[in-house]
Amino acid sequence: MPKKAKKAIRLSAAEQHLLDRAMAAQQQAYAPYSRFQVGAALQSENGEIFIGVNLENASYGATVCAERNAVAQAVSQGQRKFVQLAVVTSASPPAPPCGMCLQVLVEFCPDLRILLANPEGEVERTRLSRLLPRSFVHPK
């Protein structure tokens, strides 16, 4: 039985801009081992966009994901509140962030809006709370 085609979603201009930034970032990823390039674009509450790429290393534990790179960029610029993240991979369906990235993101925005996409045009809208429903949050 053939796969049921997913209904295309209509993106706002802001969502498309964020996704375009993530797609451009994906081309800069350094993934010589897995060949799985990831680009991320994280939008702060004030509208600023921070990009990240995955950065692999022969010592696999030293590899850093695109999403955490984008968070580090934002935090280094004094941003701590985020509204949306776009993640682009070549996977079909589009791949979500890994568990470590989800946990880092929840530190700043437990219900972050997330766009998952690939260069073939598949796009999915979701929320961090859906991808990590029982996250660990430090009692403050």
3-state secondary structure 72-88: HHHHHCCCCCEEEEEEE
Q: How far is CA 42 from CA 3, 96, 117, in A?
A: 32, 14, 14
Structure confidence by residue, pLDDT tens digits, 64-116: 999 999 999 999 999 999 999 999 999 999 999 999 999 999 999 999 999 99
The two three-digit tokens of residue 36, written as one number:
């799985």
Query: Is 136 in contact with 105 (CB distance < 8 Å)?
Result: no
Nearest to 125, CA basis, from 90, 104, 96, 82:
96
For residue 44, pLDDT beyond 50: yes
Q: Specify the pairing of strand 49-53 against strand 82-88.
A: unpaired
Catalytic: which of 15, 45, 48, 67?
Answer: 67
Q: How confident is the model at residue 139 (pLDDT cuts 50, 70, 90)?
A: confident
* Domain range 13-131, CATH architecture: 3-Layer(aba) Sandwich (3.40)
Q: How far is the CA of 118 from the CAs of 38, 59, 102, 103, 106, in angstroms? A: 10, 27, 19, 23, 23
6, pLDDT greater than 70:
no
Q: Does 67 qualify as catalytic in the annotation?
A: yes
